[in-house]
Structure 1
């Protein structure tokens, strides 16, 4: 056996996974003492740093007591499950990191289930035991129950537990006895995680992720499953559908610290990056030149939601973006499909529009946000769930929704969820909160988060995961209020916003350019209202005493991209450009909207 351990880190969002990896990197003295590294070293793209979440899985390695430990950081959100499913193939064990108060959250369960099914050995790390209201013993028991319910083997149920605080930089086998460092965790990895097996025979390596370099192009990353891979070696690339392409490896790299180092050869069990193979996709196998044998193709769960992506057709088209044509949009979406396995793009009857299928609102919004930062101008329609026919019955995706709220507002949350066809299954106290579990159609979750956060003054903690396809639950009421739509193109004035404040709440400030058909606010009633928001005050040279008071305007409501995606209805678009985001009607003039009203009924 060789001195390599491959380990994936699983955790729910915000449980301290990336912080723990930072501490491991520092403890193994990867950096010089005077080197500035910052925090959250692995969350290296802007979006990940801003949102504080991991979106793309990454590899690093450290050396500890002469053993190379390859660490694979995985995303915690179920929306990025496609990322997780493929990278677990590279690991021999998993580190399950849970918060000492919250315990195992629903999205941790999703990834844990995948890991246990692959037969990986778990080590449980109960983090944040320095928090006041932590309950490490209860969390330990709940994880044992979770593993039992997920049909873990006897060996997996006999898991070691390490307690600690990755923020303070210590780990220990007993939470009442803090240590000075995190070495007890690294010792547990060496002791309990099996070393990477050496498998003799002809070469087999599955490509499980992609890297990109502007110098050499696309780089294939994966773990060598069998045999040895060498520089300059002729190989066969076995595609997912069984076709075989002949190729040659130009350069080989292994992971060392945060970077890569060049290697002459890599033996089975280690993770490496391969340069020089053309036209590969994730899931393909790099195999022997003469006798290629394919590894089992990675199976990815199907998407549950789709959205229409189309080029920007608003009157402000092309003012802010660099890439605005349908060719740009098509090329970008197909390029994304190469590395984003859970994404699917389907062409529509219109050459300017594409249906993009994804795992959920967050999955699709990260793609939209990335595109807008790259300089694309696009419009997106209302997210739609994917409906299937199972044995002749119309079925839709149903999710398990978990909400933790203060007891006094639990009733409001139950009322909101049941309006959306949710069913309450569990209600029990959890610390000073009420723990609620529902089953709810995926359609019902769209737009629910805003309402729940408003009703609970922002105190609700919500998480959901896909359960199964179940028979159609009937119609769900959409947005309760209509919208205020601009009737003119021009610049908004404080005077007109002030005069219209009793009609609803506005999304735009004074002095902003708007166009006809743009949604500028929310109406107090359930119908849409067309308003003139650009009208100025009639100026005369007479002063009217008392009526020339300063206008007092309520602050405009600003949506995040996800909130806007949950807010719009099927006759509306979100216009997304590098600098701004606007809501608009698909048909801009009132006359066109009346003519086409039946389409959206």
Structure 2
């Protein structure tokens, strides 16, 4: 049986969880469709999700469509939980992008669609809520073509739009449908279009239909064309047509159960006894209970398995390629860990969080428990980015937005019994080298107290990553020492000259040296005469800090690209507010009595802009924003307190190391 790992994605409130419920009912998994408002849906399992009516964690449910086993993954729609979506996208064989027939293409819709297209995930579009007042048909299809992709084709003909009796039926395969299909494929297959248009008028549909069908299926498989279905998840209208589209265009994959083991961990939760349970998809091979497998470079023994099938996850003794399962016994497993060989699939990376906040326990005695709880939350969402400042006794977490802060607070209260407060959110900046800098320290030569020789050069590069390079022979010292250097370089660049993460640079190791393992007169290992990886881990921060000081850094703040639709009469007031928020708007685009403004605004001002816009536009302004880039800060340079021994202060750094060793 083939397996289809299907993602349901959408902007918040477009109705994807309701659509999931309707698909489960159509497949016979549930008898009654659950309600998001009533908190009775199958995939929103957290109490917090049910109360708020939003999806916070990705959830998996399985059902059969003919000879295809579907693992349906319901993902969060709110941008504050984009990290959950990021971890799922690389697992998908196909996707359904849900768009509201009333609100149309929204900010998160475009972010998700671009990611699916970059990853080559075949994607259908489901226009939901055709029964709501204000629902649109042809105008919305034109909006999809203009704001997502011109290669969209309506597969359904909706009727009664905007009324409770709204329905949707497959379009007749007539000349208008084939003409629309030709137009959608025009930029993808010119020969096909010319052949169709060159056929005699009366024969064109008969001659072109089958070939156009095959061409559409081929382009959907390449994620270059996108069938559009209309319907309502609440009433069930059009859902059968969508199911037909899923079966026709998203065939899934069988995988190779006899191939080498390869999979990815995409979610971690805690069991009743506090044990880690890992969710993973296998792309190749198979795993059985009691197998010893490689997980992220560590060996682990699988103690139990449950496989998703028939609407639930059921205990099983074996999981094979293509399936999603829950694993017990994988030790210190982390999200993103490969199982066996790393899959060859591309991974989508959304922008990192741009805000952070300090979490303050209501009672000082709760501080240890708060650290443990936040550590556990960071296991489930690594982008929480827990930071501990021992000197100030502060715990900070990274955020995408204020809703995420509220959810973290509610989770700490309900699951861990901790009452906390949050300080005002602040922006997370980054540092980038201005020029090149180099430094080196030699073994047995003052002031170097470590049995290691390390030379490093740092220089700026395009992009946002950190590239570690070797400028010395790989055989000049043991591989473990090179690994220690590389790992410590990345750790050290977590806090630059001003305390921010350093990015956009290459670090080259220019000098290396060590003392080989030596023994004392009695034949035992003599640490005083032999280099260890610890010597390199201790020396690298000092050398890299000096090189970074010579290079210099510039602090950059995150900028968001915004798009505001508003009444033309309110343009002046909105422009004045944007200037006060240090935004840079482009020329307004007038569309009748409304206009559209696009530009950039500092991430620190986005929340305030969202709060002010309704008052400036009588509630009619619509704001979309998403991270775009980092730009150098203008004005006073912000700094962030360090959380470790500071290698920029050599004396203090060495003193802190000696204290740590003496404990």
TM-score range normalised by the length of the shorter chain: 0.5 to 0.7
Q: 1-side partners of 2:636 and 2:81: how far apart? A: 29
Change (3 A) 1:475 1:216: closer
Q: In the alignment, which of 225, 229, 243 is matched to residue 287 of structure 2? A: 229
Q: In the alignment, which of 424, 430, 444 is matched to residue 388 of structure 1? A: 430
Q: 1-side partners of 2:334 and 2:98: how far apart? A: 31
Paired position in structure 2 for 1:185: 242
Paired position in structure 1 for 2:94: 93
Q: 2-side partners of 1:268 and 1:437: how far apart? A: 45
Q: In the alignment, which of 625, 643, 651 is matched to residue 464 of structure 1? A: 625
Distance apart, 1:294 and its partner CA: 7.2
* TM norm structure 1: 0.68
SS for the counterpart of 1:274 is: strand
Paired position in structure 2 for 1:335: 376
Please say if residues 39 and 53 of structure 2, whose CA atoms lie closer than 8 Å, have aligned partners that are also in contact.
no
RMSD: 3.1
Q: In the alignment, which of 227, 231, 235 is matched to residue 160 of structure 1? A: 227
Please say if residues 101 and 136 of structure 1, whose CA atoms lie closer than 8 Å, have aligned partners that are also in contact.
no
Paired position in structure 2 for 1:441: 602
Distance apart, 1:360 and its partner CA: 2.8
Change (3 A) 1:473 1:77: farther
Q: In the alignment, which of 276, 289, 303 is matched to residue 218 of structure 1? A: 276
SS for the counterpart of 2:231 is: strand
Deviates more, 1:80-89 or 1:32-41: 32-41
Q: 2-side partners of 1:351 and 1:277: how far apart? A: 35
Q: 1-side partners of 2:33 and 2:125: how far apart? A: 33
Q: 2-side partners of 1:378 and 1:351: how far apart? A: 17
Q: 2-side partners of 1:390 and 1:44: how far apart? A: 42
**Correspondence list, 1:110-189, <5 A:** 110-148=111-149, 155-171=222-238, 182-189=239-246
Distance apart, 1:136 and its partner CA: 2.7
SS for the counterpart of 1:446 is: helix
Paired position in structure 1 for 2:42: 41
Q: 1-side partners of 2:132 and 2:282: how far apart? A: 41
SS for the counterpart of 1:366 is: helix
SS for the counterpart of 2:132 is: coil
SS for the counterpart of 1:225 is: strand
SS for the counterpart of 1:371 is: helix
Distance apart, 1:39 and its partner CA: 4.5
Paired position in structure 2 for 1:354: 395
Which structure has the larger Rg?
2
Distance apart, 1:80 and its partner CA: 1.5
Please say if residues 305 and 359 of structure 1, whose CA atoms lie closer than 8 Å, have aligned partners that are also in contact.
yes
Task: List per-residue Cα deviations over 1:415-434 (Å, max 9, x = no partner).
Answer: 32231012223644679865
Q: 2-side partners of 1:27 and 1:256: how far apart? A: 16
Change (3 A) 1:86 1:33: closer
**Correspondence list, 1:538-577, <5 A:** none
**Correspondence list, 1:174-323, <5 A:** 182-199=239-256, 200-215=258-273, 217-238=275-296, 244-287=297-340, 300=349, 301-312=351-362, 317=363
Q: 1-side partners of 2:245 and 2:80: how far apart? A: 31
Q: 2-side partners of 1:61 and 1:189: how far apart? A: 15
Distance apart, 1:196 and its partner CA: 1.7
* TM norm structure 2: 0.62
Distance apart, 1:96 and its partner CA: 0.9
Gaps of 5+ in 1: 172-181, 239-243, 319-323, 477-569, 571-601
Distance apart, 1:395 and its partner CA: 1.8
Distance apart, 1:5 and its partner CA: 1.2
Distance apart, 1:340 and its partner CA: 0.6
Task: List per-residue Cα deviations over 1:69-92 (Å, max 9, x = no partner).
Answer: 111111122221211111112211
Q: 2-side partners of 1:337 and 1:89: how far apart? A: 21
Change (3 A) 1:387 1:468: same
Q: 2-side partners of 1:33 and 1:50: how far apart? A: 20
Q: 2-side partners of 1:232 and 1:430: how far apart? A: 64
Task: List per-residue Cα deviations over 1:547-601 (Å, max 9, x = no partner).
Answer: xxxxxxxxxxxxxxxxxxxxxxx9xxxxxxxxxxxxxxxxxxxxxxxxxxxxxxx
Change (3 A) 1:325 1:38: closer
